[in-house]
Amino acid sequence: MTSDESARFDALARAILGAIGGASNVRRHFHCMTRLRLVLVDPDRADVAALKALPAVLGVVPGEPLQIVIGPGAVAQASAAFAAVLAEQPAQAEAASADVGRPAVVTAAAAAAAPATGTREPAARPARRNTAAHRFLRRIASIFTPLIPALIGAGLLNAIAGLLKVWVAQAPAGGAGTLMFAATVASIVGSAFFAFLVIQVGMNAAAEFGGTPCLGGATAGILILPAIAKLPAFALPILGEIALKPGQGGLMGALLAGALTAGIERSVRARIASAAQTLLAPTVALGLAGIATLFVIMPVAELLTQAVGSLTATLLRAGGMPAAFVLAASFVGLLMFGLHQALIPIHAQLIAQYGYTALFPILAMSGCGQAGAAFALYFRTRDPRLKQTIRNTLPTCMLGVSEPLLYGVTLPLGRPLITASLGGGMGALVLGYCAAHGHDVGATTIGPANLMLIPLVTGPMGLVASVATYCAAVAVAYSSGFVLTWFFGLSDAQRRADGTSGVDGTSGVDGTERQPAVAAAL
Q: What distance lies between CA 328 and its chain's CA centroid?
A: 16
Q: What is the mean pLDDT of residues 376-399?
A: 88
For residues 506 and 513, the answer to whether their CB atoms sit within 8 Å is yes
Long-range contacts of 303-306 (CB under 8 A, 24+ apart): 303/239, 304/252, 305/249, 305/250, 305/251, 305/252, 305/253, 305/349, 305/353
Q: Please tell me the distance from the alpha carbon of residue 110 to that of residue 297, in angstroms, as a whole number.
A: 29
**What pLDDT score was predicted for residue 129?**
53
Query: CA Rg, the chain, in Å?
Result: 24
Which ranges in 439-497 belong to alpha helices (H)?
463-488, 492-496
What is the tens place of the pLDDT at every residue in 7-19?
888 889 889 988 8
Contact 484, 423 (CB under 8 A): yes
> CB–CB of 244/298 below 8 Å?
yes
449-477 per-position pLDDT tens digit: 888 888 889 888 888 899 999 999 999 99
Q: What is the pLDDT of residue 516?
A: 36
CA distance 368 to 333: 15
Q: Is the pLDDT of residue 283 over 90?
A: yes
Does residue 504 have a pLDDT over 80? no
CB 37 within 8 A of CB 6: no
CA–CA distance, 369 with 427 (Å, rounded to integer): 8
CA angle, residues 75, 81, 87, in degrees to nearest 5: 135
Total Cβ atoms within 10 A of residue 229 = 11
Angle ∠(138,67,17) on CA atoms, nearest 5 = 130
- Whether 32 sits among the annotated catalytic residues: the reply is yes
Per-residue model confidence (pLDDT) at position 45: 86
CB-based contacts of 100, cutoff 8 Å, min separation 6 = 29, 30, 31, 79, 80, 83
**What confidence category does residue 288 fall into, taking pLDDT thresholds of 50, 70 and 90?**
very high
Is the pLDDT score of 193 beyond 80? yes
Dist. CA 285–CA 261, nearest whole Å: 6
Q: Is the pLDDT of residue 5 over 80?
A: no
Architecture of the domain whose range is 3-130: 2-Layer Sandwich (3.30)
The predicted structure's pLDDT at residue 507? 41
Give all strands of the β-sheet with 66-69 in edge-to-edge order. 26-31, 35-40, 66-69, 59-61
Q: How far apart are CA 446 and CA 131, in angstroms?
A: 27
* DSSP letter, residue 236: E
Those residues whose C-beta lies under 8 Å from the C-beta of residue 302, and which sit 6 or more positions away, are 248, 249, 250, 253
Please report the DSSP string for 379-412 in residue order: HH---HHHHHHHHHHHHHHHTT--HHHIIIIIHH
Burial of residue 473 (number of CB atoms within 10 Å: 0-12, 13-18, 19+):
buried
Q: What is the pLDDT of residue 103?
A: 41
Query: What gap in Å lies between CA 130 and CA 44, rounded to an integer?
Result: 13
Work out the percent of the chain whose per-residue pLDDT is above 70. 85
Regarding beta strands 234-236 and 240-242, do their DSSP bridges make them parallel or antiparallel, or are they unpaired?
antiparallel
Give tens-digit pLDDT for 200-241.
999 999 998 989 999 999 999 999 888 888 888 887 787 778
pTM of the model: 0.68
Q: Please identify which of the residues 32, 368, 397, 434 carries the catalytic annotation.
A: 32
d(CA 116, CA 113): 10
CA neighbours closer than 13 Å in the CB half-sphere of residue 298: 25
- Lowest average pLDDT, out of 160-164, 378-382, 514-518, goes to 514-518
Q: Residue 521: what pLDDT?
A: 29
Confidence at residue 497, expressed as pLDDT on a 0 to 100 scale: 61
Mean pLDDT of the chain: 80
Q: Which pLDDT value is given to residue 47?
A: 87
pLDDT class of 338 with cuts at 50, 70, 90: low
- pLDDT tens digits, 470-496: 999 999 999 999 999 999 988 777 666
- As a whole number of angstroms, the longest Cα–Cα distance in the chain is 76
pLDDT at residue 90, rounded to an integer: 60
Q: What is the mean pLDDT of residues 72-95?
A: 75
pLDDT in tens, 92-148: 444 444 343 444 443 333 333 333 333 333 333 444 455 676 677 778 877 887 887
Give the pLDDT score at 130.
Answer: 58
Task: Determine which helix (DSSP H) or strand (DSSP E) holds 427, and give its type and residue range.
Answer: helix 415-436
Is the pLDDT assigned to residue 287 strictly greater than 80? Answer: yes
Q: What integer pLDDT is reported at residue 126 of this predicted model?
A: 41
pLDDT tier at 431 (50, 70, 90 boundaries)? very high
